Amino acid sequence: MPSGIDFLSQGINGIVLGLLFSLIAIGFTLMLGVIGIINFAHGVLFALGAYFAFTLRNSLGFWAALIISPLLVGLIGIIIERLAVRRMYGKDALFCLLLTFGIAMSGEELIRMVWGKLGHSIAAPAFVSGSIDLGFMLYSKYRLLLAVLSALILFLVWLFLEKTSYGAIVKAGAQDSEMVAALGNNISRMRTLVFGIGSALAGVAGVIAAPLWSVRPGMGNDAIMPAFVIVVLGGIGSFWGTVIGGLAVGLSVSLAVMFFPRMSDLVMYILAAVVLLFWPRGIMGEKSILED
Amino acid sequence: METKDDKGISRRAFLKRSAAGLTILTVSGVPTLLRAQQPSIKIGAVIPLSGNYGFLGASERCGIGLAIDEFNSKGGLLGRKVEVAEEDCATDAALAIRKAQRLLQSEKVNFFLNGGGSSVSAAMADFAKKEGAVDMCIDPNSDILTGEKANRFFFQVPPVNYQIAHTIAPYVAQNIGKKWYYFTHDYSWGWTLTESCRKFMKEKGAQEVGESKIPLNTRDFSSFLLKVRGAKPEVVMVNVAGADFTAMVEQMYEFGLHKTAKIVIPLEDFEDAWAVGPEKNSIFTLMGVEWHYAIPGVPGINEFVARYKKLFPRASYPVPTTNSYNAYMGLRELLRAVERAGTLDAPKVIKALEGHAVKDSLKRDPTLIREWDHQFVQDFYYFRPKKKKDMKDWTDIYEYVGYGKGTDNAITKNLSQARMEKLPGE
Amino acid sequence: MRRFLKLPFVWMFLFFLVLPYLLPLIKGYTALASEILIYAMFALGFNLLLSYTGLASFGHAAFFGIGAYAMALTQLKLSDDLWLGLLMGMVAAGFFAGIVGAIICRKRGIYFSLLTLAFSQMFFFIAFRWDEVTGGETGLTGLRRPPLRLPGLPAVSLTEPMAFYLFALAVFMVVMILIWRLVHSPFGSVLQSIKQNEVRAKYLGYNTVFYKWVSFTISGIISGLAGAMFLLQQDAVFPTYLNWTESGNVVMVTIMGGGVVNFFGPILGAGIFVILQNAIGAYTEHWLLILGLIFIAIIMVIPEGILGLFKRTKTVQQ
């Protein structure tokens, strides 16, 4: 039987993992909630963030890569939105989904062509390399940094949405884009911006996850499915829903290892199914225009 | 004899095609023309170029190239050129069968070579039997391939788990530690490796203190690594493969697992080891490898490495890996068997392969192609990380410790599940 | 009028009869022709839901895979009768489609897509992990094509590619005509009216949720049948059949051919997709890139699909 110490250490680890999952999902949920598109390319953008960091780390170091890679990914996101995605607005949401499906498909292969088929290891920055003795357990120093960074970035997203006037417009746009446009806001520019921010968030999650999970061409799949599940769990377009969903996934994966280790990859899908039975719109979901 | 050769794969496949009424003309209508042109002998290579084992394909391609070059540079085989038709199986068994079907029906290949892990290979074993086409399997180590899936058309080039465990486990129990914890990749390959290790561990009086089954495609091992500490093992056996393994090594290092236990990798690929770099590889105490480019006291190995470097000066890896070796050995022995049989006729080639002893195996002892389970019975080696000051370059990270003979450690007939069928006409 | 309506089926039948002889011209082969038929069947079943009910499922590979597994398990555990296997494939897929449909048929739009995806992932993991039954990652291999038995006739072996192709063609024609009849029946008109305006259909007194559920279940059954046929084609089943990328492919195939505007669109799409996949793979190892770019191009340039293009030019000419 697992002891109290086990619970504590797995619990802490679950929260750390959950923060990373929330970060992975937040860009995805933003695009879904505000622009109303399912972005299958989210995983590729996540992978690109990690690969840019892989290239930049050697010359510029961790902190520079943490800033520059997401900006590059954001830029790519903006280009994708300007060239392709925006033509899909107003059409059936399915088209956008298929478009990003195609982008995800070719994007993964492009990564393979540029960076090669092989996986690569990315070292954690030297000052957080290895483990630290917390008294009751040894824990990875980098993961503690990761938790702080993820929480910080999530907080910044929250600040943007809740405390800035532009955030208010973005949130309103999600509810009623015609109304926002009627009030003289440029809805098209807002969507580009949201797509860019969502992409950059995918990228930053990639940079942070890379030293843990190493980089390889198919790594986008590690991000896309958790993002889906978290959105279903938390409720579409809800900031707090995403954070709660992420933490729930992180904790359940971590605790499952103690009791049913073989189920640790399945547990998030079971969780999603159970939640859907009781909260059909997810934990924090409200009735959304996306249902019609 | 030529007309028989021109039939390609086998009588069955021939009948099948003429029944379809498609190629009856090219097969029997113009034999004289074909004889004059001497069409090349075609090998269908279904190898992983993307997906979970995507990195293996690059190494395998080099091995295939070496074997083909060896024959073509001396004027071909049976007076014909040898050619390879390659397909990406993307580590996906369903796709692999479709690609193999295409190679057979559209490219009219004579023989198959396949990589891509145990699930692709299990499917290919059934495919080879059904189509009556010889297939050399070049990368997985799963026991089912020489057990329940074994058949006359399918040959298993790398050693399988039973032998790997039989070589490594007794050594670890005697020299490294007695309290063991297992990380088992949660699918047939991982289970059988752990199961075999367990059997030999018990025989040597070592004891198991725990096991974690790791689901396939796990990215984060932190919870598993926290759990293992409670068990206080002396030895951690890591039976995890592919991209999951690379990620796991990172995290074992991150969590300092090597500070509390000795880590043993019963089977490691260089591709994985090089991906994580020498620093993180140094956390291991012992690792099993199928082949290494610098096994001491093996004749011909330096020439082989030199030939590789000459032929592939820009390859991803400057030295051949286990996977290039296996691809090379599988294809070379297949082509040599064709040469000995003097025909492309599948049953005759199979008989030329069965029971054959490969003297220039590029290992310490000759390799035996066993008749009753089609296993290439060969040496298996164990290595340990080199000291940093002794490393010559980034590929040079291991040093030789010892080895076990295949004939001592491979599964015996009474324990094996292999049941071979009779060939048509036997 | 009736005679003209039937004409496309006759033409299609004749075309498919000669297809195996045409395919070698583009590096194809008989088994590839069977694959086209099976994929076309899958896409037609999917399109019943997409274009005739207005529900975009992004998890249909699950029912395709369930059909294949059910057929395989029937053969391994129960009996290797061809008809029983196909029936079990349909029953199992229909059963699970019925359950999933009951939970999600109240949803619409993108939310519906999201939920179908989540459910199909669950089925994928069950297939991937339940080794005792599904064979796990390795799947179930080494199955065989049972002979075709019809009452009063001697058993016919289907092991030759051409024999199996003709059998697949027969099944395909039956399924296609059944779907055609269904969408042109009163039931089909209700589905169409739900697609156009569900609220109005509700006011007209139709239990729209029930109609959507029936459509979802039928679509699942056809996918299951296609999956069971695909098992016969490959003699093996793997969890990758249920992968979300496969679900994406069938949506793409349906849209690409023009399923939204034309009943026959999915068939054209299936043909192009299967041939492309085969051909690109033979030329470059970067086939995923090319296939992805083709998908992007089609969505951007001709979102109504290829048959939609003809319709457009026709209207322009008029």
Domains in chain B, start-ordered, CATH in brackets?
11-159+296-375 (3.40.50.2300), 162-289+380-409 (3.40.50.2300)
Q: Mind listing the pLDDT tens digit for each residue in A109-150?
A: 899 889 887 777 787 888 887 778 777 777 888 889 999 999
Q: B228 and A6 in contact (C-beta within 8 Å)?
A: no
SS3 B85: strand
Element (H, E) at A179: helix A177-182
Taking CB atoms and an 8 Å limit, are C139 and B93 in contact across chains?
yes
Length of chain B in terms of residues written: 426
In a domain, C304, yes or no: no
In a domain, C155, yes or no: yes
Q: Crossing angle, helix C265-283 and helix C287-301, to 10 degrees?
A: 150
Q: Is the pLDDT of residue B228 over 50?
A: yes
What's the ipTM?
Answer: 0.83
pLDDT higher at B378 or A253? B378
In a domain, C52, yes or no: yes
Burial degree of C130 (CB within 10 A; 0-12, 13-18, 19+) = middle
SS3 A139: strand
Give me chain A's average pLDDT, please: 84
**Residue A179 binned pLDDT confidence (cut-offs 50, 70, 90):** low
Residues from chain B contacting residue C288 (CB–CB below 8 Å): 50
Query: Degrees (nearest 5) of the Cα angle B384, B250, B389?
Result: 40
Residues from chain B contacting residue C160 (CB–CB below 8 Å): 16, 19-20
Q: Mind listing the pLDDT tens digit for each residue in B129-160?
A: 988 999 999 989 989 899 989 999 999 999 99
Q: Is the pLDDT of residue B15 over 70?
A: no
**Residue C73 binned pLDDT confidence (cut-offs 50, 70, 90):** very high
Q: Which residues of chain C have a Cβ shorter than 8 Å from any chain B Cβ?
A: 20-21, 24, 27-32, 35, 128-129, 131, 136-139, 141-142, 160-162, 234-236, 238, 240-241, 278, 281-282, 285, 287-288
Q: Is the pLDDT of residue B37 over 50?
A: yes
Give the global pTM: 0.84
Element (H, E) at B254: helix B242-254
In a domain, C230, yes or no: yes
Residues from chain A contacting residue B223 (CB–CB below 8 Å): 10, 13-14, 17, 253-254, 257-258, 264
Q: Mind listing the pLDDT tens digit for each residue in B51-74?
A: 777 778 889 999 999 999 999 998
Q: Which residue in B has a C-alpha nearest to residue A14's C-alpha? A: B223
Cα separation, B367 vs B362, in Å, equals 9
Q: Is the pLDDT of residue C198 over 60?
A: yes
Residues from chain A contacting residue C252 (CB–CB below 8 Å): 98, 101-102
pLDDT higher at A1 or A82? A82
C141, C288, C289: best to mutate for the B interface, most B CBs within 10 A: C141
Q: C104 and C119 in contact (C-beta within 8 Å)?
A: yes
Residue C299 carries which DSSP code?
H
The pLDDT of residue A106: 92
CA atoms within 13 A on the CB side of A172: 16
Taking CB atoms and an 8 Å limit, are A264 and B52 in contact across chains?
no
In a domain, C178, yes or no: yes
Taking CB atoms and an 8 Å limit, are B119 and C138 in contact across chains?
yes
Say which amino acid occupies B287.
M
Q: C217 and C90 in contact (C-beta within 8 Å)?
A: no
Beta-carbon count within 10 A of C14 CB: 10
Which residues, 6+ apart, have CB-to-CB distance to A135 below 8 Å?
A: none
What residue has token string 């890896």? B317
What residue has token string 């051919």? C257
Domain count, chain C: 1
In a domain, C286, yes or no: no
In a domain, C76, yes or no: yes
Taking CB atoms and an 8 Å limit, are C103 and A276 in contact across chains?
yes
Taking CB atoms and an 8 Å limit, are B20 and C236 in contact across chains?
no
Say which amino acid occupies B258.
H
- Structural domain containing residue C42: 27-242
Report in angstroms the alpha-carbon separations of C39 from B422, C226, C262, C281.
37, 7, 17, 18
Nearest by CB to residue C161, choosing from B20, B107, B187, is: B20
Q: Mind listing the pLDDT tens digit for each residue in A40-89?
A: 999 999 999 999 999 998 888 888 889 999 999 999 999 999 998 888 88
Taking CB atoms and an 8 Å limit, are B243 and A254 in contact across chains?
no
Beta-carbon count within 10 A of B242 CB: 24
**Residue A182 binned pLDDT confidence (cut-offs 50, 70, 90):** low
In a domain, C236, yes or no: yes
Element (H, E) at A145: helix A141-163
Say which amino acid occupies B425.
G
Supply C55's token pair.
Answer: 């529900």
Cα separation, B258 vs A290, in Å, equals 51
Nearest by CB to residue C138, choosing from B16, B107, B188, is: B188
Q: Mind listing the pLDDT tens digit for each residue in B365-383?
A: 999 999 999 999 999 999 9
Q: Mind listing the pLDDT tens digit for each residue in B74-97?
A: 888 988 999 999 888 888 888 899
Query: Beta strands A131-133 and A138-140: pairing type?
Result: antiparallel
Residues from chain B contacting residue C128 (CB–CB below 8 Å): 216
Supply C31's token pair.
Answer: 């088994």
Residues from chain B contacting residue C238 (CB–CB below 8 Å): 92-94, 119, 123
Q: B401 and B366 in contact (C-beta within 8 Å)?
A: no
Q: C258 and C268 in contact (C-beta within 8 Å)?
A: yes
Supply B333's token pair.
Answer: 């022995």
Element (H, E) at C213: helix C208-234
Say which amino acid occupies A276.
L
Across the A/B interface, how many CB contacts are shorter than 8 Å?
A: 119
Nearest by CB to residue A213, choosing from B215, B229, B247, is: B247
